[in-house]
């Protein structure tokens, strides 16, 4: 079975959606830990509920990104993590983790990339008055939401929706798509390990 680590910065609704699928057996991976960069991130409480160990790695305690990521890497190696899953983790991944986990870091983005990259994708789509947005799961590289796309799903926007309604619909697509892609990527890693 593939070991994953989930990285998050906020409330952890995607974390919870993933954990539900792990728990019911539809996503056959083991979540070894949750990595957070904020001590008050609500996802820590969600992790407790699922008995997943969480680690708050405070970026302010380290001189630079390399040192910060070396600390994270130490945890990942200790937990024998095969795949990093970014689930609302609001920090760029640097050289240390990219080199240690080539094509083993995936991210979910609440837009149909390359449309609306960056931290405010849902708001950007809403303000642009586009007819469609979407959700993308992609491999992480050194750019901002520029890594190779694994899967995408389109979402039609009802012109009567307010921002909160759009967010709800985008998140619903995320919750359904992300676990399926994690499963697909995990199966690929498992196959590579057994070759």
Sheet holding 83-86, edge to edge: 54-56, 29-36, 2-8, 83-86, 105-109, 132-139, 149-156
Strands 105-109 and 132-139: antiparallel
The span from the CA of 8 to the CA of 55, in Å, is 11
The span from the CA of 169 to the CA of 9, in Å, is 21
List 56's β-bridge partners, or say none.
Answer: 36
Q: Active-site residue 138, yes or no? A: no
Supply the angle between the helices 13-23 and 163-194 in degrees, to the nearest 10: 50
Active-site hit among 109, 120, 138, 169: 109
- Let me know: does 24 contact 36? Beta carbons within 8 Å: no
Give the residue among 152, 157, 182 at the shortest CA–CA distance from 168. Answer: 157
Residue with tokens 């991130």: 41
Residue with tokens 């960069």: 37
| Active site amino acids | 109
């Amino acid at each position: 079975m593939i070991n994953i680590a989930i990285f998050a910065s906020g409330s952890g609704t995607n974390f919870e959606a993933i954990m539900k699928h792990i728990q019911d057996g539809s996503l056959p991976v083991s979540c070894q830990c949750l990595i957070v960069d904020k001590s008050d991130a609500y996802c820590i409480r969600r992790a407790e509920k699922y008995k997943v160990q969480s680690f708050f790695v405070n970026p302010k305690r380290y001189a630079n990104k390399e040192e910060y990521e070396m600390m994270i890497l130490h945890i990942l190696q200790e937990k024998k993590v095969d795949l990093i899953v970014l689930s609302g983790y609001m920090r760029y991944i640097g050289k240390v983790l990219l080199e240690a986990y080539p094509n083993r870091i995936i991210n979910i983005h609440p837009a149909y990339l390359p449309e609306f990259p960056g931290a405010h994708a849902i708001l950007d789509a809403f303000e642009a008055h586009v007819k469609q947005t979407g959700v993308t799961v992609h491999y992480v590289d050194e750019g901002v939401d520029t890594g190779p796309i694994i899967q995408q799903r389109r979402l039609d926007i009802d012109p009567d929706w307010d921002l909160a309604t759009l967010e709800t619909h985008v998140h619903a697509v995320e919750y359904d798509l992300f676990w399926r892609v994690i499963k697909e990527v995990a199966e690929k890693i498992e196959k590579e390990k057994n070759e």
